[in-house]
Structure 1
């Protein structure tokens, strides 16, 4: 375990990059946030860092078009990846986002944990499963955040969490599932603890698979709702 004590509220914007070649040096530890464009990714980042304006929030899903980097401590970063799935933007732009996301996942050695955000009312869509399956195959720990849980009753919320846990248990991977609400701060303490645990570990080389099936998705079909 690293001696570096992480506090997510120390996060500060560093750079927005169109691809991994413009990112900071591939060293240290990064935790990436990924999800469909309407999953509330920016809101979750702001809640977890206790900074209202850290990640830009738009009423139009899909505004995260670049890889956004936030430094939490020296050589410890949060990465906001381009959203996938929902955004109503030209297909060529979606392909560009897909390439940047897939390339990051495949090649970035400092990636040590993946937060996959899904609307609790519509979890585990095909691209969500592709991403989680990739992480499982790569032995990368996953935190599945089921966002917007304030929109469900307590009973329904618990049932959805259990259903997602049951489905993902078949992957036999390090996957934790947590109901989350940016509005009510539900699950924020638990998510904070998991993310800080990842960021506080000692940096080690991470071996990635030779091919990334997530990068080979047929964008012409998968990115249209």
Structure 2
């Protein structure tokens, strides 16, 4: 997908604030500081549309970013940050669960895992929860550039085995620094939302 326009739309905390234009939505989940904002910025070729933070737990809402007029990226609050109160975590969990299980335009969930480390208990719980509800899912292992290339295969195996992923489950090794995995991830997103490149249709029409 060629991104011509991207913009931040709203920070939502409930259904009354969600966009009502029925564009397909791709949500991003993962623990705090796993790189959700950096991934969004890389996918849309922008440096600072999705704000990154060195302070874990900063995202406390569903942040909607509209891409062209084709889809939304929805950045979910990061999980697993110890300094967030139990009550706050309960509230986040409640509205995230309501969104993931009840939002009709949601077409795909990207579950981000730090490729450098074995998935945490929270990562495993999130993965199992998503599988239980049979949500369309792609696991994205981030920060690949921070690993020597010689360790990629080993760490990918650890991530997949710890989560208990089926062999054919979609998986992308990604780097927000180098762009590794970007095209593969776009291909999976396009398939999930039923995207058709209008330029291809135009080219076919113009073919003698």
**Which interval holds the TM-score relative to the shorter structure?**
0.7 to 0.9
How far residue 60 of structure 1 moved from its aligned partner, in angstroms, is 0.9
How far residue 132 of structure 1 moved from its aligned partner, in angstroms, is 2.2
Q: Alpha carbons of 1:95 and 1:139: their partners in 2 closer, same or farther (altered >3 Å)?
A: closer
CA contact (8 A) 1:9 1:51 kept: no
Where do 5+ consecutive residues of structure 2 fail to align?
A: 197-208
**Higher Rg of the two aligned structures:** 2
How far residue 156 of structure 1 moved from its aligned partner, in angstroms, is 1.1
Bigger relative contact order (CA 8 A; separation at least 6): 1
1:49 maps to which of 9, 24, 44: 44
CA contact (8 A) 2:118 2:162 kept: no
Aligned length: 196
Mapping 1:80-99, distance limit 5 Å: 80-86=75-81, 88-99=83-94
How far residue 67 of structure 1 moved from its aligned partner, in angstroms, is 0.4
Matched, 1:197 2:191: yes
How far residue 47 of structure 1 moved from its aligned partner, in angstroms, is 0.9
* RMSD between superposed Cα atoms in Å: 2.4
2:111 corresponding residue in structure 1: 116
TM-score computed with the length of structure 1 as normaliser: 0.77
| 1:98 aligned counterpart, secondary structure | helix
Where do 5+ consecutive residues of structure 1 fail to align?
A: 1-5, 203-225
CA contact (8 A) 2:117 2:155 kept: no
How far residue 166 of structure 1 moved from its aligned partner, in angstroms, is 4.4
